[in-house]
Amino acid sequence: MPQNALGASKVENKKKKRVLNIVMIALIIAITIGGVAAVGHVKGWFADDKEKEAVAVKVTGIVNIQRDGISFELKEGACVEDDDIISTNDEAGGIIEAGRNTYEFAEKTSAVIENNNDRFGLEITGGEIFGILNGDDKSVNITAQNKKITSKEGVFSVNVHTGSMGINVFSGEVKVFGDEKEIVANSGEAVSIIGDDIEVMELKASSLNKFNIDRAIEASNEHKLCFSNEELKKVLEDRDRESNANLQENEEAQGQETDESSSSKPGKNPGNSSSQSNGNSGNVSTNYDYSCTIEIRCDTILNNMADLKPGKAGYVPSNGMVLRKIKVGFNSGETVFDVLNRVCKEKGIQIEYSYSPMYGNSYIEGLNHIYEFDCGEQSGWMYKVNGWFPNYGCSSYTLSDGDNIVWAYTCKGLGEDLGASIG
């Protein structure tokens, strides 16, 4: 081949390669842009203003979002779209701002988002949400366990657990719809929903958990609530005082048991104190990841012996303590019921309970042969954790390290003699 022909061929090949390279680069750029756009669509990077009406304005800990079958971590500033599923992990939370309204997610809470042109809604599947509504034009619709909750303006919280739901109204008005019934709760009232039973009662500061109290204190800066900050802070201070006292008592009890054990003669079983005097004592096995305290008492019966059924007096300890406060271990995910059932078996305390498939919970009927209605038509067993009486079953309360559990017997007022207000 002539030299000039060969040279022309090489030049032509170089031109073709250059064109091919340009085409490949363009394809890579197009693919990259397409990928970014796809991810951005899922994560809401390029949402228009209408979609951005619902935005995550605060995120603490790990909060997950599921969109179009893809899960990723929710970040502050990300928009929240219709059909998104939001879930918070342990010690995590987030605030969703929709228009002029805000919804704060507590830890271990999950909800499906409804966000369209004329309505913002939440379908709460579990956990607790604190809402602050400022009279936005958008109607608000919250659903849980086949119940619909609506409000236009106010401050309230909704907690959802297996078989039960509670609503606390701090200001404004909340309507609850279910089974063709409409219930209205106003500021200072609470709604207790167990299955299809709906009851409105007085909301008391002592019935609130820490999440509600902390959120209410913050909300009071801009809204007039049914409680003052002083009332709310006093509840927290009283619980801290009780918790510290419980801790000190437990430490003293452990020290006393150690002294008694060391002073007992060789070969002699020191034994536990009789349940008829000062309750069973001694910690149960602690080969667990976490620990809590538990006690069982029925001292309210001592003031209502005239109402006690015949033949039951022998089961009531002289000091009302069925089980003196002890420290026990538990593993992650265990509930108040799990610990109670295990402790009763290890300490030889009679326990009888029933499981309700409808509510998905275990109900404590009797402890130490003392049953509901044994001391009046309003009597029965109740539990509190860290000074708070939950409005849901003990099988639904997942324990945290250091919790203080008290099982107590109420005789009058469905817990009023224990200082309880279930709301």
Greatest alpha-carbon span in the chain: 125
Closest CA to 75 of 65, 85, 87, 90: 65
For residues 71 and 212, state if they share a domain. Answer: yes
In a shared domain, residues 383 and 410:
yes
* Confidence label for 42 from pLDDT (cuts 50, 70 and 90): very low
Residue 330 is assigned to a structural domain of this protein: yes
Distance CA 136, CA 100 (A): 6
Give how far the C-alpha of residue 142 lies from the chain's centroid of Cα atoms, to the nearest Å. 17
Pair 360, 312 in one domain: yes
289 within domain boundaries: yes
189-194 and 370-371: which strand pairing? unpaired
Q: Which helix (H) or strand (E) element contains residue 343?
A: helix 336-347
Domain of 348, in residue numbers = 241-262+270-418
Q: What residues does 123 pair with on adjacent strands?
A: 112, 143
Residues 169, 55 within the same domain = yes
What pTM, to 2 d.p., does this model score? 0.69
Question: Do 182 and 245 fall within a single domain?
Answer: no
pLDDT digits (tens, 9 = 90+) for 290-311: 999 999 999 999 999 999 999 9
What total of structural domains would you count in the chain?
2
Q: Which residue has the higher pLDDT, 74 or 356?
A: 74
> Quick check: is 375 in a domain?
yes
The pLDDT tens digits of the residues spanning 376-409 come to 999 999 999 988 888 888 998 999 999 999 999 9
Distance between first and last Cα of the chain: 97
Confirm whether 4 is domain-assigned: no
Residue 62 has, within 13 A of its CA and on its CB side, a CA count of 5
The share of the chain scoring above pLDDT 70, in percent, equals 75
Within this chain, do residues 100 and 178 fall inside the same structural domain, yes or no? yes
370 lies in some domain: yes
The answer to whether residue 31 sits within a structural domain is: no
Neighbours of 345 (CB within 10 A): 11
